Structure 1
Amino acid sequence: MKFYYGGQAVIEGVMMRGRSSAAVAIRKPDGDIHIYEEALDPRLYQSKLWRLPFLRGMLLLWEMLVLGTRLMTVSANIASGAVDPDAPASSPEMAPAGEPAEASNKLEEERPAQLGGATLVFTLLISLGLGVAIFFVGPLLLTSLFHQQLGEGWLNVIVEGVIRLALLVGYLYLIGRIPDIQRVFGYHGAEHKAINAMESGDPLGVEHVRRASRVHTRCGTGFLLLVMVVSIFVFALVGSPTLPLKILSRIVLVPIVAGIAYELMRLGAANYRYRVVRWLLAPGLALQGLTTREPDDSMMECAIAALKRVMLRDRVLELENEQEHLPQLAVSPGD
């Protein structure tokens, strides 16, 4: 199975995921870049389940949700100054490597405080519960108020889907007006630009990354739009049971919807060269206008640093200085 590098924006930084590790590059209050990197669980990424269509999507999405939430706390702690990662390296193995040529920033390594264990699971369950309640159960309850007018056919399901989509777009628009979130969206744009430059074969330098597109075919924003569309067809198969059973279906079928949407996203990204595919993916790319901003050079430096680190770890890139060593990988709190 072809491997795709990917990542997400975090507080004042960018997280990138490689084959064997995930690295987050965070802009500290003093302007330097700190890189934290940890090993990915080989039990998941080397499992045969990873290769099974639909199931692999659900596994990846859960892992990325766990990983993203945990590393978001890392970035928030460092960017706010709550955690100071300035302790000097104690051995050559802890020396930084893979610094972008454009950045004179010191890339440092230390394990910062982060969520883990029961606290992380509880946080994720609360977040997922709220998301499902607002975006899946909420539209169902709204359409049930107009049961007599809409009936039980496709019209009912389509109206429910339109409400769901409107809630998503409205939510993205509103949070995008918050200044702090606008900076996160800038880092989101930087993440896309770095990935696009790498996949186009361009050097990972700010001047090249700056010219790359800030939208990407495998973006999570486009994935969310696919989830909304796929849910219309999946929920239509449920038929017309009682309202409690409908509510239950909206909850238990979310992983199925996500798995289908993930496969469609991969299929679309792999066949983007075809005009009909570009046309079908256009709404998802347009929606990224709400979740990305044009990044400044400092944001792109973070994206480049994180991407280079995981590519170095995967031996896709070679160390510029043979005397340097990659630091030892941290192990996630859940391992």
Structure 2
Amino acid sequence: MIRGRENVSLAVRRQDGTIHLEHQRLGTLLTGKIRRVPLVRGVAVLAESLILGVKAMQRAANVALQGEEEGGEEIAGWVLALTLLVSLGLGVGIFFVLPLLIVHLLDPSISSDLVSNLIEGGLRLALLIGYIKAIGMLDDIKRVFAYHGAEHMAVHTYEAGLPLVVDNVRKFPTPHPRCGTAFLLTVVLVSILVFAFLQRPPIEWRIVSRIVLVPVIAGISYEVIRFSGAHQNSAFGHFMAVPGLLLQRLTTRQPDDSQIEVAICAMETAIAADEGREYAVPVALEVTSAENEGAGANLAEPEPPTDGRMDAPSGC
């Protein structure tokens, strides 16, 4: 899945090896006036990206596994809402509340509020890295991470002004500074700074504070990434990008040629849709062997900002 200025594209490798393409216009949360409101736009982008991700996963599964073409069953509104609520609840519970509960058990032996909060932040970071490493051991996730890397390589190629062909895409690395992984890591790092200077009221109030401040932290994180993206050629921009690029060593893998082909098709479709034209898969990219069956490029990761202008396609 590739997100352009005004459209999002999806490319899926069918079981027969051919590639299914589709695109749709982005919602107003990602393209409307709300993008001009600092902090609020970060929460809006995260929400809409989660919705796009869930819908794309369902659509890709339908096409890749069932061979569905046009149409197909849409996710019911209540099912989508429930899925998002459960996902967000688990995320907040595991990465925000759980570290707090663990530290609460240690609090009797910790005299400093600052030290307690920093330990909590360290646990939060360790949980994120451990979670990514754990799921990265699963075969299906390894394939998703390979498509993730292919997306980034295709974006690099486009930004370098080179033709989108496999040989050119192969020249570029899998990490990319505008990535959902960078957003997740920034959220954790910002949360460490925000929570570090809070006091230690009763545990109930501390839990409430962690939950209530999640949207604020997400908004701040978006602005940090947006600012660093706008200054990516400066020393500061490079410095800010380093943590996210390092974490992408876990969330991306080297793709094979068939996965790169899917990423190229997704990129070309997003570009064409933004330009008001259609893109057809070249015959050279259509394969007839079922051994290349799989899903579209990285369908699970919500995408944070490009450089704030959304003037270049980016992997989702």
TM class by smaller structure: 0.7 to 0.9
Instruction: Work out whether 1:201 is the aligned partner of 2:161.
Output: yes
Report if aligned partners of 1:190, 1:295 keep a CA contact under 8 Å in 2.
yes
Post-superposition shift, 1:72? Answer: 0.7
Report if aligned partners of 1:185, 1:292 keep a CA contact under 8 Å in 2.
yes
Instruction: Work out whether 1:84 is the aligned partner of 2:68.
Output: yes
Summarize the Cα distance change of 1:308–1:254 in structure 2 as closer, same or farther, 3 Å threshold. same
Post-superposition shift, 1:317? Answer: 7.8
Instruction: Work out whether 1:129 is the aligned partner of 2:89.
Output: yes
Counterpart residue number, 2:32 = 47
CA deviation string 1:171-196 (max 9, x = no partner):
11011111111000000001101111
CA deviation string 1:103-131 (max 9, x = no partner):
xxxxxxx2233424111010010011011
Q: State the one-letter code of the partner of 1:19.
A: R
User: Which of 209, 212, 216 is matched with 1:252 structurally?
Assistant: 212
In structure 1, how many angstroms separate the alpha carbons of the residues matched to 2:84 and 2:238?
34
Taking structure 2 as the reference length, what is the TM-score of the superposition? 0.84
Report if aligned partners of 1:222, 1:285 keep a CA contact under 8 Å in 2.
yes
In structure 2, how many angstroms separate the alpha carbons of the residues matched to 1:59 and 1:167?
25
Post-superposition shift, 1:19? Answer: 2.5
Report if aligned partners of 1:25, 1:33 keep a CA contact under 8 Å in 2.
yes
- Look up the SS of the partner of 2:92 in the other structure: helix
Post-superposition shift, 1:36? Answer: 2.4
Report if aligned partners of 1:190, 1:300 keep a CA contact under 8 Å in 2.
yes
The percent identity for this pair of structures is 45
Moved more, 279-288 or 178-187: 279-288
Summarize the Cα distance change of 1:68–1:319 in structure 2 as closer, same or farther, 3 Å threshold. closer
Moved more, 273-282 or 186-195: 273-282
CA deviation string 1:127-168 (max 9, x = no partner):
110111000000000000011222352111110010001111
Counterpart residue number, 2:314 = none
Summarize the Cα distance change of 1:73–1:191 in structure 2 as closer, same or farther, 3 Å threshold. same
Question: What value does the CA root-mean-square deviation take over the aligned residues?
Answer: 1.8
Instruction: Work out whether 1:21 is the aligned partner of 2:7.
Output: yes
Moved more, 135-144 or 279-288: 279-288
Name whichever structure is richer in helix by fraction: 2
Moved more, 260-269 or 67-76: 260-269
CA deviation string 1:219-277 (max 9, x = no partner):
11121111111001222344222110110111111111111111111222222222343
Report if aligned partners of 1:217, 1:285 keep a CA contact under 8 Å in 2.
yes
- Look up the SS of the partner of 1:145 in the other structure: helix
Instruction: Work out whether 1:296 is the aligned partner of 2:256.
Output: yes
Post-superposition shift, 1:26? Answer: 0.4
Q: State the one-letter code of the partner of 1:35.
A: L
User: Which of 24, 29, 34 is matched with 2:20 structurally?
Assistant: 34
Q: State the one-letter code of the partner of 1:34.
A: H
**Unaligned runs of at least 5 residues, structure 2:** 281-316
Counterpart residue number, 1:10 = none
Instruction: Work out whether 1:307 is the aligned partner of 2:267.
Output: yes
1:1-335 correspondence runs (5 A):
15-41=1-27, 43-80=28-65, 82-85=66-69, 110-315=70-275
Report if aligned partners of 1:238, 1:249 keep a CA contact under 8 Å in 2.
no
- Look up the SS of the partner of 1:146 in the other structure: helix
Q: State the one-letter code of the partner of 1:22.
A: V
In structure 2, how many angstroms separate the alpha carbons of the residues matched to 1:18 and 1:73?
21
Summarize the Cα distance change of 1:290–1:46 in structure 2 as closer, same or farther, 3 Å threshold. closer
Summarize the Cα distance change of 1:215–1:316 in structure 2 as closer, same or farther, 3 Å threshold. farther
Aligned pairs, how many? 280
Report if aligned partners of 2:23, 2:273 keep a CA contact under 8 Å in 1.
no
Post-superposition shift, 1:84? Answer: 2.8
CA deviation string 1:38-82 (max 9, x = no partner):
2222x32443211112111110111000011111111122222x2
**Unaligned runs of at least 5 residues, structure 1:** 1-14, 86-109, 321-335
Taking structure 1 as the reference length, what is the TM-score of the superposition? 0.79
Summarize the Cα distance change of 1:232–1:319 in structure 2 as closer, same or farther, 3 Å threshold. closer
- Look up the SS of the partner of 2:29 in the other structure: helix
Counterpart residue number, 2:301 = none
Post-superposition shift, 1:283? Answer: 2.2
Summarize the Cα distance change of 1:152–1:242 in structure 2 as closer, same or farther, 3 Å threshold. farther
Post-superposition shift, 1:35? Answer: 1.1
In structure 2, how many angstroms separate the alpha carbons of the residues matched to 1:75 and 1:152?
50
Summarize the Cα distance change of 1:318–1:33 in structure 2 as closer, same or farther, 3 Å threshold. closer
- Look up the SS of the partner of 2:15 in the other structure: coil
RCO greater where, 1 or 2, for CA within 8 Å and sep 6 or more? 2
Moved more, 283-292 or 148-157: 148-157
